[in-house]
């Protein structure tokens, strides 16, 4: 069993074959659990584009366990995207390790705030608990998202000077 301490988390390509398969699974699940207009997952090409840092978590042997991305949405404000672990890696600390890595990266890039959009359905309950354990709180829509029954918006201050999205003052219950 691989532990989070044995993970290698580094920049990677979302176009790499094993990563693309994991992202395809992610997109299928998003469309299976949310109405199409509420699916905000990015495709492989967009994840490989400018303004996005994409990372994977792998074993020392190179086995893919998870991934995530950091997208700059404005100066001082980053967004988490495409957080996903393989079925075999769930419950083993991989998502926490990727989240901590991306949060640290955002802080080093002088982000004052890190935000995310996730689903409101029961399917996403574990993800919402993960984010809450890491200091994210529910907020209002940001960066062009709109309020709706299928989305939950969360944010975390990184304790850095910079811009602040006032819509994050609008809290609502999980």
Structural domain boundaries of the chain? 4-169
Is it the case that residue 162 has pLDDT exceeding 50? no
Is it the case that residue 169 has pLDDT exceeding 80? no
Q: Please tell me the predicted confidence (pLDDT) of residue 5.
A: 53
Q: Please tell me the predicted confidence (pLDDT) of residue 159.
A: 79
CA distances from 99 to 94, 110, 170 (A): 9, 17, 24
pLDDT band at residue 171 using 50, 70 and 90 as cut-offs: very low
4-169 falls under which CATH superfamily? Gcn5-related N-acetyltransferase (GNAT) (3.40.630.30)
Which phi and psi (to 5°) does residue 48 adopt? -85, 0
Averaged pLDDT score across all residues of the chain: 86
Predicted structure pTM score: 0.85
């Amino acid at each position: 069993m691989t532990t989070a301490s044995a993970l290698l988390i580094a920049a990677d390509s979302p176009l790499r074959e094993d990563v693309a398969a994991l992202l395809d699974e992610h997109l299928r699940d998003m469309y299976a659990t949310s109405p199409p207009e509420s699916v905000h997952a990015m495709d492989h090409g967009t994840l490989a584009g400018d303004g996005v840092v994409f990372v994977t978590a792998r074993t020392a042997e190179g086995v893919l366990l998870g991934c995530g991305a950091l997208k700059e949405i404005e100066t001082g404000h980053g967004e988490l995207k495409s957080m996903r672990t393989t079925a075999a890696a769930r419950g083993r600390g991989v998502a926490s390790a990727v989240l901590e890595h991306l949060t640290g990266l955002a802080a080093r890039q002088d982000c004052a705030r890190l935000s995310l959009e996730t689903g409101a359905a029961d399917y996403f309950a574990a993800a919402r608990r993960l984010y809450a354990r890491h200091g994210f709180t529910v907020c209002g829509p940001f960066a062009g998202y709109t309020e709706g029954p299928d989305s939950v918006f969360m944010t975390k201050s990184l304790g850095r000077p910079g811009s602040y999205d006032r819509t994050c003052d609008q809290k609502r219950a999980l």
